[in-house]
Amino acid sequence: NGYFAHGKLSVKGADLVDEDGEKFQLYGLSTHGLQWFGRYANFDTIASIQENFGINVIRFALYTDENGYCDGSESKKKQMLEDLIEGVDAATQLGLYVIIDWHMVGAENPADKNPLTYLKESKEFFSYISEYYKDQDNILYEIMNEPNGKTTWEDCKKYANEVIPCIRKNTDAIVLVGNPRWTADLYSVMKDPLVGYENIMYTYHFYAADHSNTTQVETAYDKGFPVFISEFGFMYSDGDGNYSEKNGNRWKQVLDSRNISYVAWNISNSKGSASIFKNGSNDMVDVSDSNLKPWGVYLKNWYRNKSGLDVLVKE
C-alpha cells in the first residue's frame, strides 16, 4: 500500500493522488522530537511499526528549538541530521512515504512561534535536504509545524514564498504548509491562498479531546483546498490525558470520506498518553499490546484494519 505500489504522489484539485492519478490516502505516525527520541528513527523500529500497523507514511519531527536543530550545539544539530537521514533511508527501503517536518512550535522560545524566526536556517536546511533527496519520489516536505501566538497568515505566506523556491530548485515534491493558531486556521488560508505553485497542501492539526469541530477541514476540502492532517491525536492538545473515541470517530469519518491523509503523534516512550510505547519501556521494536500504551494499541488496531492486515491474517 506504499511507495513501491503507488509511486510519486501529486496534488490534483483538493486531492492527493498517486502516479496513476488515482486518489490516494496516507496514514501513519510521527516521531517525537529527534533531539530527545532520535533513537526511534532506526530501521528495526520503523520496520516493526510498518509490518504490524500497516502504515504507509512516517513523519520525522526535526524541532527547531528546545535544544533542537537551530538552538542546540553543533554536535546536537549534526546528530539530529544523522538521525533524520537514518530514519528517512530506512523508511525508504521499507517502501514508506516520508514527511520531513520543520517542527517549529515556540514552546521555549516565544520568537519560534513565528516561522520567520529561523527563516535563514530553514532555507539552508530545505535547500540541502531537498537536494540530498532529489532523486527520491517518496518525500514530502513540511515547512512549518505549528505557527502560533501573534503569528499571522501573512507571516506564514511570506515565509513559504521564501522557502518553497529552495525546494523547487531540486524537486516538485509535495510541500505541506502550516498556518496560524497551531495550524488550525484554514479560514485565513482560504481567503488568501499561496499562488504560483503546484503540489502544495495545507496542513491542519487537531487533538480530538479538545477539538471536536471538523467544520474548517470539511469546508476547505469541499471548496477545493488540499488539506493534510500532518499531526493529530485523540487526547488533549498537550499530548496527554484520556482520548476521546467519540470525537475521534467523528474525525475519522470526515477524513476518510474525503480522502484526507493523517499522521498520528507519536513514536516514543515519552510520559504523555500520546506516545505509543509505554513510558518505562526501552524496547523500541516490540509492538505487542503489552509494550504499548492504550493509544498505541488503538492506532495499531485501527491502522491494521485500514490497511487490510487483519483480513490477510484471517485468511
Q: Long-range contacts for 267-272 (Cβ within 8 Å, ≥24 apart)?
A: 267/29, 267/30, 267/31, 267/32, 267/37, 267/40, 267/45, 267/49, 267/58, 268/31, 268/32, 268/36, 268/37, 268/40, 269/37, 270/32, 270/36, 270/37, 270/239, 271/240, 272/235, 272/238, 272/239, 272/240
Q: Mutual orientation of helices 245-257 and 215-222 as an angle, nearest 10°?
A: 0
C-alpha grid cell, residue 281: 519501556
Task: Catalytic residue, from 66, 146, 162, 315: name it.
Answer: 146
Task: Catalytic residue, from 66, 124, 142, 231: name it.
Answer: 231
d(CA 211, CA 167): 32
Rg, Å, the chain Cα set: 18
Tell me, yes or no, if 146 is annotated catalytic: yes
CB 104 within 8 A of CB 112: yes
Tell me, yes or no, if 198 is annotated catalytic: no
d(CA 213, CA 94): 35
C-alpha grid cell, residue 168: 523547487
* Catalytic positions: 146, 231
